[in-house]
Chains A and B, each alone.
Chain A
Amino acid sequence: DAKTTQPNSMESNEEEPVHLPCNHSTISGTDYIHWYRQLPSQGPEYVIHGLTSNVNNRMASLAIAEDRKSSTLILHRATLRDAAVYYCILRDLAGGTSYGKLTFGQGTILTVHP
């Protein structure tokens, strides 16, 4: 599986935007970029995903570089509830029974200060 690289930790203040970077220089043409987050003592939850174009949903935005070798998860206004570990994961949606199997890296620990 293609690998992703994320900073170990980032800090933000409440109500401010947060940009969480992810490098994936060996991404293949069929890899989708997924972001999940894990709040303390909980299972991960889906945040957003994309292939080539930037994506927006109610939780966040995903900005994908033109060459797809990097992406940035954007939380427009951080809240205390956004404090979590954020995982950037590449996922080949070619199907098959391995679909749904995720390879988690170390992720970025986001701390939000009041």
Chain B
Amino acid sequence: GAVVSQHPSRVICKSGTSVKIECRSLDFQATTMFWYRQFPKQSLMLMATSNEGSKATYEQGVEKDKFLINHASLTLSTLTVTSAHPEDSSFYICSARDVGVDTEAFFGQGTRLTVV
């Protein structure tokens, strides 16, 4: 099946700094990617939908100025957590849609962000 790669898999940053997470579709073109966040022992919550070449669509309650999403190419979307705070510590997961596959979404392996 199609492969989605996230980088880094784990990152620790200081409070107030920014962190960029990359999501790449390795063997297909993804016009749409999705960013999810998962707190410990909770389910995944969709943060935003990222469309190549256009602005991301954010879910209600997600601050677009804090979670910057860029989808500049058909194989790469990035999520930047700006001015990170300890409450932003979470597991961030991206998924991508392969237009040639109607059956499933493909997920990255996730990025564990810890803000200290």
Contact = CB atoms under 8 A, between A and B. Distances in A.
Interface in A40-97: 41-46, 49, 87, 93, 97
Nearest to B98: A100
A100 B104 CA distance: 7
A98 B57 CA distance: 10
Interface string B40-52: 0011111001010
A13 interface: no
B110 A49 contact: no
A34 B103 CA distance: 9
B77 interface: no
A93 B102 contact: yes
A73 B49 CA distance: 29
Given A46-B103, A100-B95, A41 B112 contact: yes
Contact of B107 (A45, A101, A105): A45
B34 A104 contact: no
Interface of B: 1, 4, 6, 32, 34, 36, 42-46, 49, 51, 91, 93-97, 102-110, 112
A2 interface: no
Contacts of A49: 103-104
B32 A99 contact: yes
A101 B97 CA distance: 9
Contacts of A106: 42-43
Given A46-B104, A93-B102, A107-B43, A100 B110 contact: no
A10 interface: no
B33 to A, nearest CB: 8
Contacts of B4: 43
Given A99-B97, A100-B32, A100-B95, A46 B105 contact: yes
Given A43-B95, A43-B109, A98 B49 contact: yes
A26 interface: no
A26 B39 CA distance: 28
B111 to A, nearest CB: 10
Contacts of A43: 4, 6, 93-95, 107-110
19 contacts: A38-B44, A43-B4, A43-B93, A43-B109, A44-B44, A44-B95, A45-B107, A46-B103, A46-B105, A87-B43, A97-B32, A99-B97, A100-B34, A100-B97, A102-B105, A104-B36, A104-B44, A104-B45, A105-B43
